[in-house]
């Protein structure tokens, strides 16, 4: 009988959700280099090998200052890592990339060879959204890779619902927007109206290089170079597309659920 077999099969398989964040994070695929690390000290005097190679001019080396790598514009293609003769730019394999402020994404200065990870929301918003966050996803142009990866979080393996985070149909029910894509001119009005439709207090999360700084479409006349231009963004998750683990880490870090479970594992 159909129902009987389905139930037995389901019960046999048991829970397929990963232990993360309580348990260890799933391994990243080897092609995914993880976060980048910039040690400007190793740079030779007038070497600009990495600047020429970067497709979205994420790496800049102004004449008198040290090299600066803007992870917001970076597509993580790791060309610069290969091109750098002295190994100033290296891949750390760390999946944690989410930051709260746009300037935190710029590496290279003395203090910040690596990313300063996103802190928790301010106390009022945290207490409100800590256990129940409903997001309205807006695809503002882009290649749909970030949407696919965000969607993966809903599957039984990642199971975003266990954190109380849920994607809803109507912005009226939502607490925030999760924006993907470079916000094309066509989608500007839709994005504005969706943001206006979300009741206060609300947050905005920009996922993927496009949403942060326009990604591969940066500078195109039909594109607004990311959501930051139109809306106040609370969380930036770089990557093209960011790995589901990175997005999940960003979300639960934002809600302060990470230390909580992190504390559990010490």
Q: In what order do the strands lie in the sheet with 176-180?
A: 165-167, 133-139, 176-180, 203-207, 235-237
Q: Which is nearer to another protein, 76 or 195 (CB)?
A: 195
Q: How far is the CB of 105 from another protein (least distance, A)?
A: 28
Q: How far is the CB of 205 from another protein (least distance, A)?
A: 17
What is the DSSP code (8-state) at residue 103? G
- 167: nearest Cα among 99, 247, 95: 247
Q: How far is the CB of 199 from another protein (least distance, A)?
A: 4
Q: Given phi > 0 = left and psi -120 to 50 = alpha, else beta, which region is 67?
A: beta
Q: Which is nearer to another protein, 6 or 222 (CB)?
A: 6
Q: Which is nearer to another protein, 82 or 193 (CB)?
A: 193
Output the DSSP codes for 214-247: -GGGTT-TTB-SSGGGTS--SEEE-SSSPPHHHH
251 backbone dihedrals φ, ψ, rounded to 5°? -65, -50
Residue 186's contacts (CB-CB under 8 Å, 6 or more residues apart) are 141, 222
Q: Which is nearer to another protein, 194 or 225 (CB)?
A: 194
Q: Which is nearer to another protein, 4 or 31 (CB)?
A: 4
Q: How far is the CB of 194 from another protein (least distance, A)?
A: 6
Instruction: Catalog residues that contact another protein under the rule CB under 8 A.
Output: 2-3, 6-7, 10, 13-17, 128-129, 131-132, 134, 155-157, 159, 161-162, 164, 166-173, 175, 187, 189-191, 193-194, 196-201
**Distance, CA of 10 to CA of 7 (rounded, Å):** 5
Q: How far is the CB of 14 from another protein (least distance, A)?
A: 7
């Amino acid at each position: 009988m159909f129902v009987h077999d389905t139930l037995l099969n389901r019960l046999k398989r048991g829970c397929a959700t990963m232990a993360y964040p309580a348990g260890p994070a799933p391994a990243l695929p080897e092609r995914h280099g993880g976060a980048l690390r910039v040690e400007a000290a190793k740079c030779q005097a007038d070497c600009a090998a990495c600047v020429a190679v970067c497709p979205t001019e994420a790496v800049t080396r102004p004449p008198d200052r040290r090299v600066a790598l803007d992870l917001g514009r970076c597509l993580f293609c790791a060309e610069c890592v290969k091109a750098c003769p002295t190994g100033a730019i290296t891949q750390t394999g760390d999946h944690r990339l989410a930051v709260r402020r746009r300037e935190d994404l710029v590496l290279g200065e003395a203090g910040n060879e690596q990313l300063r990870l996103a802190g928790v929301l301010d106390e009022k918003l945290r207490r409100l959204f800590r256990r129940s966050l409903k997001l309205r996803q807006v695809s503002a142009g882009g290649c749909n890779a970030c949407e696919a990866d965000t969607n993966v979080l809903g599957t039984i393996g990642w199971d975003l619902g266990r954190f109380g985070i849920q994607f809803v149909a109507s912005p009226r029910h939502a607490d925030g927007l999760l924006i993907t894509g470079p916000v094309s001119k066509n989608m500007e009005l839709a994005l504005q109206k969706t943001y206006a439709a979300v009741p206060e207090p609300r947050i905005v999360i920009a996922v993927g290089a496009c949403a942060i700084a326009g990604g591969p479409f940066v500078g195109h006349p039909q594109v607004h170079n990311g959501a930051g231009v139109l809306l106040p963004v609370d969380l930036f998750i770089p990557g093209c597309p960011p790995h589901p683990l990175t997005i999940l880490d960003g979300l639960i870090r934002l809600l302060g659920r990470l230390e909580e479970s992190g504390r559990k594992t010490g």
